[in-house]
Amino acid sequence: MSGALNYDPPGDLLREKIILVTGAGSGLGRAAAVAYAHHGATVLLLGRREEALNDVYDEIERRRLPQPAVLLLDLATANDNSFQELAVTLRQEFGRLDGVLHSAALGAQPLPLEHLAMETWDRLLRVNLTAGYALTRHCLPLLRAAAHASVVFTTCAAGHGVRAYQGAYTIAKHGVENLVTLFHQELASTSRIRVNALDPGPCATSLRRVAFPAEDPAKLRQPAQLMAPYLYLMGDDSLGVSGQRLDTRQET
């Protein structure tokens, strides 16, 4: 995937593509949704806070980009039925999905495992791992209906190594990276769906502030500065790339 970080996408890279973005109300998800719309996609903005999603919707409308849609769903409480209903709605309204970006995640304050409540553990695993699996699974028929489809899971350094005091978050991201490999192995030979992991690296967002309260956000990159690999993995220039982990720090 050499060059994905300096990728210079054509303006119409995602023209007529329908792309679902989770965690679209803030941070990297929001920046990606706007970038995808800017490159021609109809973006489906999924999140749990209507106000935040409407704000992104308005920004996209203000820029006269393809009309997006808002999908309200709390990934902490969503069950099989919720994902099934969402998939049915998407089939009725759009017929297919050309891409899914999993950006939603719950951040966690640093805490030793010894003091981590089981409810917190469950919630972090549910939002950061299980929801991505369930949403992808229920969207597979929609992804199969596209000429080529791209599923991108967001991972981080913790998903590759071990980060003390970020126990459940670390375990969830390890799970995400395994999930990418599993979906890739199970889908690559039988479908035109590619599945990859993207590690954006440190970035000034609310999740980051929760996990690293002592860090100066002014020293971090802004989400909008990191969009090249998000566009590369979602567009047709990454056709044939699957089961990979794109790490922004390795490619500079």
Ligand X SMILES: NC(=O)c1ccc[n+]([C@@H]2O[C@H](COP(=O)([O-])OP(=O)(O)OC[C@H]3O[C@@H](n4cnc5c(N)ncnc54)[C@H](OP(=O)(O)O)[C@@H]3O)[C@@H](O)[C@H]2O)c1
For ligand X, the binding residues (CB under 6 A) are 23, 25-29, 47-49, 52, 74-76, 103-107, 127, 154, 156, 199-200, 202-203, 205-208
Residue type, 98: D
Closer to ligand X by CB, 98 or 199: give it. 199
Closest CA to 71 of 30, 21, 35: 21
Closer to ligand X by CB, 87 or 203: give it. 203
CA-based R_g, the chain, Å:
17
Catalytic: which of 36, 169, 230, 232?
169
Annotated catalytic residue 169:
yes
CB of 15 to ligand X, least distance (A): 25
What does the alpha-carbon distance between residue 205 and residue 231 come to, in Å, rounded to a whole number?
19
CB of 225 to ligand X, least distance (A): 12
Query: Which token pair is 196?
Result: 């990859």
Closer to ligand X by CB, 17 or 30: give it. 30
CB of 201 to ligand X, least distance (A): 6
Closer to ligand X by CB, 140 or 211: give it. 211
CB of 25 to ligand X, least distance (A): 4
| CA distances (Å), origin 171, targets 73, 113, 139, 226, 228 | 23, 12, 24, 25, 27
| Phi, psi of 248, deg, nearest 5 | -60, -30
**C-alpha dihedral sign at 229, 231, 234, 240:** negative
* CB-nearest residue to ligand X: 27
Query: Which token pair is 235?
Result: 């567009």
| Phi, psi of 94, deg, nearest 5 | -125, -25
Active-site residues: which are they? 169
